[in-house]
Chains A and B, each alone.
Chain A
Amino acid sequence: MLKGLSFLLTILAVVSTDAHAKLKVGTTTEDLEALVKAVGAGEVQTFSVAKGTQDPHQIEAKPSYMVKFRDADLIVSQGLELEAAWLSSLIQGARNSKINSGAKGYLELGPQLDPIEVAKGSVTRAEGDVHPQGNPHFQLDPVRLGRAAVLVGQRLGELDAAHADLFRANAETVQKHLTEKLQDWQKRIDKTGIKEFASYHKTLSYFAVRFGLTNSLQLEPKPGIPPTASHIIEVMDEMKKRKVRVVLIENFFDDSVRGKLEKEIPAVRVIKVPVAVGGEPGITTNEGLIERLVAILEAAAK
């Protein structure tokens, strides 16, 4: 009798442990991992594939990530083809039907966040490594991040109903906090007097649009194509004409054009900047990343 009871209790303990096991959530970038951590608040285990110091377009599909994907309950991606070259290989290799595209365990955020720079008409690779469905780098827009937090919260709640209220409340808190911070960041950017900056790639488009800045000059002649001498001359001519004095180079790109820019454009500030959580030591949250960018602009204006 006692043996039977002991066995029953053991089974119940195992089932109970399983029922309260934390959700395992994999994200394609550290930005999304930070967001999931903020919403999950200790009730989820997370990992990210791309590091904040890596170009997320160019990640290798390491089989070791397939092992993590095998055990995942949810994969969250930025989407809009940012991870097109490697994510499907990881999902297929994981052999985990829970995270297949279309399943509840797969969440692609980009298409649900009103992407900008959606291609009009048909585009071809002659225009570079284009993202026809829109720019996928929404991680630098606090408003879209807030909406992404809500989407993440909803999905976590669907997968773990016991904590659905907690996830929803956390997501709303994240969204509210980012919205409040938005006003402060806007004021500080306005105060710098900077109206326009150039960048290496279109990684900062959402940041620029959100804060009323112009970022139409890229050092890349076309997306995914490294700078050429003739294109840099064109960019410098435009910068001179439009009195653009700030160049932000995403820190996973080479800044070898710095010397030329500093020589040709008086008082230009060429700054390597983090564009992802984990992009620099100490940047561990989405808010911290945007805070860092705002501080960089403030320093550039001095």
Chain B
Amino acid sequence: MHFRFGGEMILGRLWLLPLFCISVTALADGESHSSAGNLRTINVSANALFLYRNSNLAKEDVSTERNGLDIQEAELAFYADVDPYSRLNILLTVHPEYELNTMTNKVEQTYVVAPEELFAETSQLPSTIIKVGKIKAAMGKHNQLHAHGFPLTDAPLVNSVLLGAEGLSDVGISAAVLLPSKWFSEFTVQYLRGEGDNKEFHSETPGDGVGLAHWKNLWDFSDALTMEAGVSYAAGNNSIGGTASLAGADVTFKWRPAVGGKYHSWILAGEYLRRDLEQPGVAAEVGAGFDVWGQYQFAERWSAIARIDRLRIENSSPTVNAANALPNDTTRKYSVGLTFKATEFSSYRAEFNYADGPPAANGQTVERKMYIQANFVIGPHPAHTY
């Protein structure tokens, strides 16, 4: 088995991970035991996603997305107040990656350990949270979610294709200001260095960064019903000598009544994303699309969800952007899922999706995929994000 740390293949150093975990756990348990009370040094939690996947396109050893049972992702989170002024968050992920070995024509599995997010934050400035480090960019709503918090097993098409499998995430600095309004209104500006996993912002010029702005608002229509709306924009230089820009908008309605809300609730959400990549000598590549999804909780532990995805790519040029060209086509995807949330700490999901888009390697344009996912959390109560 191969093991990589943050993209660098390191064979035979698998022992580093348990050693690291033991060290941090020891720190976490290292509370001062005095009669006056305990000093909690580090909060530690872990999350594991197990996934069974079956796709008519994925064939064993000739596809980079295998059918069968696998570890989708494990996440280790360490967080604590550093001192009265700052807080440190470390989120490491362990996930498999598949690469086709052209010598053997077999897919080889590699486990990758990487910092999903690693940042220090402070709220010492009035109404502002400052973050420094590797962060998930505030590009829309879905991009800020971790895999275990996705409404469905996979990310919407616009996110996975336009922002990459891991989403837009990079080392940078972020300032999120709570505006002095009666409703929740937060304006976030971020500067990312443009050297993360996202190819669209890999400028050849060192020092070229990415600027991003996000404005999020939330209104309470009643105790039960809220509406959240956000807009985002990011721009930087791309790897082929032009500029790259992203524009997004999202809206979410949530309903959970104050009486009976433990058993019934619904969410209706939609997100639009557009990416423009300038290409020297030819028209800019444009990728744009949306997803709309609805979730209905019909019992204390059960909910059903459906999502529609649409993505269109135009003017992608394999000659100008050979490394990252996309098929110029429209993809439509329809997903349905059923989730059983046993407790706050474990849940199970069955999902089916149908996608119709550009031809795959075997010429088929339709993919039918089934997922069964199990999600487990250990550690403190997972925060109920809204």
Chain A residues proximal to chain B, CB less than 8 Å: 51, 53-55, 58-64, 66-67, 70, 81, 84-86, 88-89, 92-97, 100, 102, 125, 129, 224-226, 252-254
Contact = CB atoms under 8 A, between A and B. Distances in A.
28 contacts: A51-B223, A58-B384, A59-B384, A60-B384, A60-B386, A61-B385, A63-B216, A63-B386, A64-B183, A64-B218, A64-B226, A67-B181, A67-B182, A67-B183, A67-B184, A70-B127, A84-B381, A85-B383, A93-B178, A94-B178, A95-B127, A97-B123, A97-B124, A100-B84, A102-B84, A125-B345, A224-B344, A252-B259
Number of contact residues on B: which range applies? 35 or more
A269 B8 CA distance: 67
A253 B381 contact: no
Nearest to B262: A55
Interface in B233-262: 256, 258-259, 261-262
B259 A95 contact: no
A60 B383 contact: no
Interface of B: 84, 123-124, 126-129, 178, 181-184, 186, 216, 218-220, 223, 226, 228, 256, 258-259, 261-263, 300-301, 343-345, 378, 380-386
A93 B178 CA distance: 8
Nearest to B226: A62
Given A59-B384, A60-B256, A252-B262, 13 more contacts: A54-B261, A55-B262, A62-B218, A64-B219, A67-B181, A84-B380, A88-B383, A89-B383, A93-B178, A95-B128, A224-B343, A225-B343, A226-B301
Contacts of B385: 61, 89
A266 B129 CA distance: 60
Given A53-B258, A97-B124, A85 B386 contact: no
B341 to A, nearest CB: 11
A125 B128 contact: no
A64 B220 contact: yes
B91 to A, nearest CB: 16
B259 A63 contact: no
Given A85-B383, A89-B383, A226-B300, A64 B129 contact: no
Contacts of B380: 84
Contact of B386 (A61, A100, A254): A61
Contacts of A55: 262
A89 B149 CA distance: 16
B220 A62 contact: yes
Nearest to A85: B381
A84 B184 CA distance: 22
B184 A86 contact: no
Contacts of B127: 70, 95
B178 A70 contact: yes
A55 B380 CA distance: 19
Given A54-B258, A81-B381, A254 B300 contact: yes
Contacts of B345: 125
A97 B121 CA distance: 13
Contact of A61 (B84, B344, B384): B384
Contacts of B182: 67
A251 to B, nearest CB: 9
Given A66-B178, A125-B378, A254-B300, A61 B383 contact: yes
Nearest to B220: A64
A97 B129 CA distance: 11
Nearest to B186: A63
A86 B343 contact: no
List of 8 A-B pairs having minimum Cβ-Cβ separation, nearest first: A63-B184, A84-B381, A85-B381, A51-B258, A95-B123, A63-B218, A53-B259, A86-B384
A158 B26 CA distance: 38
Nearest to A102: B84
